[in-house]
Amino acid sequence: MFRKTLICLSLLSLSLTQHASAAENKRTNKHPFLWENATVYFLLTDRFHNADKTNDLAYGRQADAAPLRGFMGGDLRGVIAKIQDGYFSRLGVNALWITPPVEQIHEGTDEGTGKSYGFHGYWTKDFTKVDANLGSDKDFKKLVEVAHQHGIRILLDVVMNHIGPVTATDTAWPADWVRTEPTCDYKTADGAIKCTLVKNLPDILTESDKPVDLPPQLVQKWKQEGRYEREVKELDAYFARTGFPRAPRYHLMKWHTDWIRKYGIDGFRVDTVKHVEASVWKELKQEAHIAFEEWKRAHPKKKFSDAPFFMTAEAYNYPISDGLQFRMDGGSRVNYYANGFDSMINFGFKSDAQQDYETLFSRYANYLQQDLKGYSVLNYISSHDDGSPFDPARQRPFESATKLMLTPGSVQIYYGDEIARLLNIAEAQGDAKLRSMMDWSVLQKNVRLPLTSTQIPFTYQATPSYRDLLQHWQKLGQFRAAHIAVGAGVHQQLSAKPYIFQRSYQKDGVSDQVIVALDLPRAKTHTIAVDTVFRDGERLQDYYSGQSVIVQSGKVQIATKHSMILLGKL
C-alpha cells in the first residue's frame, strides 16, 4: 500500500510539474505561430485512445480482421480527453493531424494480407459524415473546439484520389465517377494518375469535366438518414456559386471544404498527391481558402489569426533535395508548391537523419533559406505507411527525438514516437506492423526502456524509462513551441566541439534567437559564449534543465548533468 501511495504521489508530482511547464511556456511565448516551425502530432484515431467502448464495432462490423487490420476502439473522444489533460501541450504540439474521420466502407476486404477494415480512414463510403466507430459529428465539432481552446490547430487528412474497395455491402460507384483499371505501373506520370493504386480501389476520375449524377448509393443512404434534400440543396448552391461543372472532383471539393466551413479546421494534409493532376490541388486550395474565410467571418472570436488556410502534400517519396520540383514517375517534374501547397512531407528525413548534426542541420537550413524560401517541409522519423523508418528497432530513441525536433523545418511526431512505440509487430503484415495501439501502460507503470548499456545516454545512471524518454521529447517540444527560430531560423554553427549552434529569425517585425549545445562532455558546469545573439544582462532559459541564467561578459554558466543545453530568451 505504501509503495502504491508513493507511485501515485510520484505520478501526481510529474503531472503537476508538466502542467506547470506547459502553462509557463504558454505565458512566456510571445512569438506568433508559424507553420514553418509547427510541431504536428499525427495519429490514427482508431489506434490512439479508446474513451467510448460503446462505438467499438459499428455498422455490423466484426472482430474478425487479420492482426492489426480491424478497428481497435480508438475514437474522437479519446483524442479530446488527451487534449484536455494536457498531453499534447506538454509535448509542445501546436497542430494535430488526424486520419480521415469520414465514414468508411462497412465491410472488410482482403488485399492479400488478410481481412482488413477501413480503420485508417482511407476507404471512404461517405465524405460527408463521421464514421460511427470514431464517434459522431458532435464529437468532431468538440474535438476542433477543444483543440483550439488549447492553442492546437487541426489538420484534416483528405483523399481526392479514391474511394473505398467494393464489397458485398459496399457496392461499386458509377463508371462516370470512378475507374477500376488499370492498376498503376508508375512508368509515366499517367501511370501514376490515370490508374488504381491497387486492385479493387476505385480511382476517382479527377481529370473529368463531365457532369455526373450523385451515386445512387449516396442518394439512398442520405434519404434513409433524412438529409437528402439538405445535401442536394447545398450542392445546388455550391455549383451555382462556383459555376463548376458537376464533375466528380468538384463534388469532392465541396464535401471536403464543408469540414472547414462547418468546423473551422485549419489545414489539410492531402493524401496521394502525385496520383491526382496537380491543377486539381490548386482548385482545392482556392475553395478551401473561401471556406476558411467564411468560417472566420462567422466566428471572429474563435479564429486564431488572419493567416490563410494551410495545405501540406503527401507526394510519395518527395525528398527535400527535390526543392520546388518533385521528380514524378517517368522523370517529369511537378511543382506542387505552385499548385496550392505551403508544405510537403519530407520522405528524405528518415535517411538524412543518419548524418551528423551539423551536416543535417546546415543542409536543411540551406534548402529552406534558399530553394524553398517561403515554403517548408514536414520532417518525420516514422509514419503509418513507411516501412523504412529511422531507427526501426527503436534503439536510438533519444537521438531520434533530438534530431527530429531540432532540424530546420516543421516536424511530424507519429503517435508513439515519443514512447518508442514498436514499429515491427511480428504477427502483423505490411503497413499494419506500423499501426499498433498506443500503449499508455508503459507511462503509467514507469516501465524501463529495453536498451543496452551502450544505448543509454550518460546523463542516466540507470536504464531510463519510457517516461524519461517522453520528458526528453517534452523538453524539446516546449523549446520549439516557445521559439520559432528553431524550425524557421537561419542556422549557424558556433563550435564544432562541443557542438554549439545558433538560429536567428527576423521577419515582419518578429525577432527570435536561440543557442543550442549538444553532446556536451561530463562536467558540473558548462560555460557557453552567447554574445553573437544575446546581450549582457539578458535573462535566458535553459529549456532542458529548466534553469534561468543572466548573460555576463557575453557568456552564461549552466550547472547541469545533461549533455544538452537549449537557450532562449524568456
- How many C-beta neighbours within 10 Å does residue 226 have? 8
Residue 417 backbone dihedrals phi, psi, to 5 degrees:
-55, -40
- How many C-beta neighbours within 10 Å does residue 358 have? 14
CA 343, 346, 352, 357 dihedral sign is positive
Strands of 210-351, DSSP E: 267-270, 310-313, 326-327, 333-334, 343-346
Residue 431 is a catalytic residue: no
Q: Distance between CA 569 and CA 288 in Å, rounded?
A: 37
Question: For residue 115, what are the CA distances in angstroms to 65, 165, 170, 446?
Answer: 5, 12, 15, 35
Residue found by looking up cell 481552446 in the block: 149
Q: Provide the grid cell at 327.
A: 521528380
Q: Distance between CA 293 and CA 145 in Å, rounded?
A: 17
Q: Provide the grid cell at 5.
A: 501511495
Residue 387 backbone dihedrals phi, psi, to 5 degrees:
-80, 5
**Which helix (DSSP H) or strand (DSSP E) does residue 494 occupy?**
strand 490-495
Pairing of strands 343-346, 376-380: parallel
Q: Distance between CA 92 and CA 152 in Å, rounded?
A: 10
3-state secondary structure of 77: helix
Q: Provide the grid cell at 123.
A: 476507404
CB 100 within 8 A of CB 124: yes
Residue found by looking up cell 483550439 in the block: 148
Residue 293 is a catalytic residue: no
Query: CB-based burial of residue 460 (10 Å sphere; 0-12 exposed, 13-18 middle, 19+ buried)?
Result: middle
CA torsion 26→30→32→37, rounded to 10°? -70
- How many C-beta neighbours within 10 Å does residue 360 have? 18
Q: Provide the grid cell at 417.
A: 514516437
- The single residue of 46, 107, 131, 314 carrying the catalytic annotation is 314
Strands of 119-232, DSSP E: 124-130, 153-158, 178-179, 203-204
CB 472 within 8 A of CB 401: yes
DSSP label of 254: H
Q: Distance between CA 318 and CA 226 in Å, rounded?
A: 44
Residue 300 backbone dihedrals phi, psi, to 5 degrees:
-60, -25
- The single residue of 271, 287, 386, 512 carrying the catalytic annotation is 271
Tell me the catalytic residues. Answer: 271, 314
